[in-house]
Amino acid sequence: MGNLIFTLVTNNGLAQHIYQIAHLKGEFLLRSGVLSDQYFDKYRFEAEPKLLREIALQLAPLVPADTDALAGLEMGGIPLATMLSQVTGLPTRFVRKEAKSYGTCKLAEGGDIAGLRLLIVEDVVTSGGQIVKSAEQLRARGAIVTDALCVIDRLATGVENLTAAGTTLTPLFTIDQLRSDG
């Protein structure tokens, strides 16, 4: 992509661009344990600064008004939350999969979380397992977690699993939208 300069003014243009850059065909084992014949390599769209910024600009209107801070999940949610922080002005917390066992032994870095309404930011959701786990861990440390944003919802069991766990998922795109626009 190098020096390619682009302006995306519609969600359709953004969906097409994400699909072109990140969609892979083959045989892939997803984090959820499901085998898939297609994969969205989020690092391909997260590694492109202009595309990452456009994604953040499109995500910004989806951020609930009562959000105190963004919670980027390790690893793919961190660049998204960082860029979304730049366009919204909201602070970011960087959430590990497990609290580190050394130093400060924190689950979330970047500041306190107790009493804050955190918006979880994730890249691709299939079962929502990591969001459910992270939301529980953040709540156990005093954060208020009711919502999550993602770039791509694979339309598997994520919405159902998150709803059952008390979290509402808002995707920028579903896998069907990417397929139809890609």
Q: What is the pLDDT of residues 62-94, one digit of tens each?
A: 999 999 999 999 999 999 999 999 999 999 999
Confidence at residue 108, expressed as pLDDT on a 0 to 100 scale: 95
Total residues found in the chain within this entry: 182
Q: Cβ(14)–Cβ(57) under 8 Å?
A: no
Beta-carbon contacts of 163 under 8 Å, excluding residues fewer than 6 positions away, are 169
75-97 per-residue burial string, b: 16 or more CB within 10 A, e: under 16: ebbbbbbbbbbebbebebbbbbe
Confidence at residue 8, expressed as pLDDT on a 0 to 100 scale: 40
Cβ neighbours, 10 Å, residue 26: 8
SS3 124: strand
The CA-based dihedral angle spanning residues 21, 22, 27, 31, taken in that order and rounded to the nearest 10 degrees: 170
Confidence at residue 4, expressed as pLDDT on a 0 to 100 scale: 35
Of all residues in the chain, the percent with pLDDT exceeding 70 is 92
Cis peptide before 75 (omega within 30 of 0): yes
Q: What is the mean pLDDT of the chain?
A: 90
> Which residue segments constitute the domains of the chain, with CATH numbers given?
11-181 (3.40.50.2020)
Question: pLDDT confidence of 60, banded at 50, 70, 90?
Answer: very high
Question: pLDDT confidence of 181, banded at 50, 70, 90?
Answer: low
Question: pLDDT confidence of 11, banded at 50, 70, 90?
Answer: low
Question: pLDDT confidence of 149, banded at 50, 70, 90?
Answer: very high
Cβ neighbours, 10 Å, residue 159: 18
Question: pLDDT confidence of 180, banded at 50, 70, 90?
Answer: confident
Confidence at residue 10, expressed as pLDDT on a 0 to 100 scale: 55
